[in-house]
Amino acid sequence: MVYLDHAATTAVRPEAVADMTEEFGLLGNPSSLHGAGRRARRTVEEARESVADSLGCTPNEVVFTGGGTEADNLALKGLFWARNRADPARRRILASAVEHHAVLDPVHWLAEQQNAVFEELPVDSFGRVSPEGLRAAIARNPGDVAVVSVMWANNEVGTVQPVSELAAVAREHGIPFHTDAVQAVGAEPVDFAASGVSALTVTGHKLGGPTGAGALLLARGTDPVPVLHGGGQEREVRSGTLMTPLLRGFATALRLAVDEREEHARDLARMRDDLVAAVRERVPDAELNGHPELRLPGNAHLSFPGCEGDALLMLLDARGIACSTGSACSAGVAQASHVLLAMGADPETARSSLRFSLGRGSTRADVDALGEAIGPAVERARAARRKRRAA
């Protein structure tokens, strides 16, 4: 199989597998007071210190979660509740129109069930939120904004946001700023303290760690209301028995991804440019989406006029090539990409797009295989679409 869907998930690194395998053979709940529990607690705290060192924060700013979706929910719901309870006038949530559904769905739920007011921050044709746009949105009534959320890098088109500038605008008004950095960590330089954000989401399975382990970084003084209640683990922000083996593997994969980031990103960017060139050589009217420069190094999101993205995906899959029509969490749902629509694309273009994402293990042979397959696949997809319309 030619795997070009690393943005959805990527292979667990051997080093992380080795650490988790060793840990799975050991007993101990990190909340227990006996020797076995203290040993497990030490492993958890070493993982916490490693995550903090990798992401530019202090260990007490790391709250472990079961992954990115949980971290996003904790950030959005928890910060909204905390701010709204302190001042009921703070009802407005500002989030970009191109967020992942792990942000958009909790925000919509808060609007429907918790009396929040959701306001989308518009993006330009590349998918970027401008600091001026955020400033204008806040200025309409600074006292009613509960929280702002803008992702570090888009999971579909790969566009990187001006996060530090946006966070600075929110900070001027004392508003907490959350960013989903799931796609950015390991591909872009991510430094929590330097960015100025209040809360940051990261997960393991996007960077060579296990599924089921992630973290929400919370700056000092940023205290969300808990979403989960129970044993009071993770400073009573996130209850639940800590997954010691997965956290050890997560920390190992994160450390390696950050340490190797610069060289890895350069390699991916070169390979991505070759992939785009190979596709355009066979399909000259294919259009690259997202920012041409400020984008993730392994992301190539292209629209193919006259095609249905789902049909084209299945034709490539039949040739052993795995890619995506966008967010894997929305797979199987035939609808236009909300990201492309927010960027100004028409619905037909938004349904004609595929995301090819490279990662560790991607090779020039993968690019060549796509180059050979894409021309005939597009021809078949266009012919099938013409036939359906003529029927």
CATH number at residue 323: 3.90.1150.10
In 3-state terms the chain splits into helix, strand, coil percentages (rounded to 5) of 45, 15, 40
* Confidence grade of residue 128 (pLDDT, cut at 50, 70, 90): very high
Task: Say if CB 169 and CB 134 are below 8 A apart.
Answer: yes
Q: What's the rounded Cα separation, in Å, for the pair 292 and 157?
A: 10
Closest alpha carbon to 214 in 270, 254, 161 = 254
For 255-262, the CB contacts below 8 A with 24+ separation are 255/50, 255/53, 255/54, 256/13, 256/15, 256/208, 257/185, 257/186, 257/207, 257/208, 258/54, 258/55, 258/185, 258/186, 258/190, 261/186, 261/187, 261/188, 261/189
Closest alpha carbon to 5 in 316, 277, 264 = 316
* pLDDT at residue 65, as a whole number: 98
Kindly state whether residue 385 falls inside one of the protein's structural domains: yes
Residue 306, Cβ neighbours under 10 Å: how many?
Answer: 14
* pLDDT at residue 333, as a whole number: 56
Number of domains in the chain: 1
Longest dimension (CA), the chain: 73
Mean pLDDT of 312-325: 96
Pairwise pLDDT comparison (390 vs 55), residue with the higher score: 55
pLDDT digits (tens, 9 = 90+) for 274-305: 999 999 999 999 999 999 999 999 999 999 99
Kindly state whether residue 128 falls inside one of the protein's structural domains: no
Structure tokens at 252: 């190992």
Kindly state whether residue 290 falls inside one of the protein's structural domains: yes
* pLDDT at residue 390, as a whole number: 83
**What one-letter code names the amino acid at 369?**
A
* pLDDT at residue 205, as a whole number: 98
Kindly state whether residue 376 falls inside one of the protein's structural domains: yes
Closest alpha carbon to 309 in 254, 260, 355, 362 = 355
User: Which is it for the CA torsion 244, 246, 252, 257, positive or negative?
Assistant: negative
Q: What's the rounded Cα separation, in Å, for the pair 110 and 99?
A: 16
Kindly state whether residue 336 falls inside one of the protein's structural domains: yes
Kindly state whether residue 289 falls inside one of the protein's structural domains: yes
| Residues β-bridged to residue 218 | 199
Kindly state whether residue 327 falls inside one of the protein's structural domains: yes
From the CA atom positions of the chain, what is the Rg in Å?
Answer: 21
* pLDDT at residue 380, as a whole number: 96
Q: Is the pLDDT of residue 334 over 80?
A: no
Structure tokens at 99: 């967020």
The residue range of the domain holding 353 is 2-9+261-390
Task: Say if CB 178 and CB 76 are below 8 A apart.
Answer: yes
CA distances from 230 to 75, 76, 162, 241 (A): 18, 20, 37, 9
Kindly state whether residue 256 falls inside one of the protein's structural domains: no
| Residues β-bridged to residue 153 | 160
Strand, helix or coil for residue 228: coil
pLDDT digits (tens, 9 = 90+) for 249-272: 999 999 999 999 999 999 999 999
* pLDDT at residue 330, as a whole number: 55
Active-site residue list: 329
* pLDDT at residue 336, as a whole number: 87
Model's pTM, two decimal places?
A: 0.96
Q: Is the pLDDT of residue 329 over 80?
A: no
Closest alpha carbon to 219 in 264, 174, 159, 266 = 174
Closest alpha carbon to 237 in 82, 116, 49 = 82
Q: Is the pLDDT of residue 91 over 90?
A: yes
Strand, helix or coil for residue 138: helix
Q: In this structure, are strands 177-180 and 145-149 parallel, antiparallel, or unpaired? A: parallel
Mean pLDDT of 334-356: 93
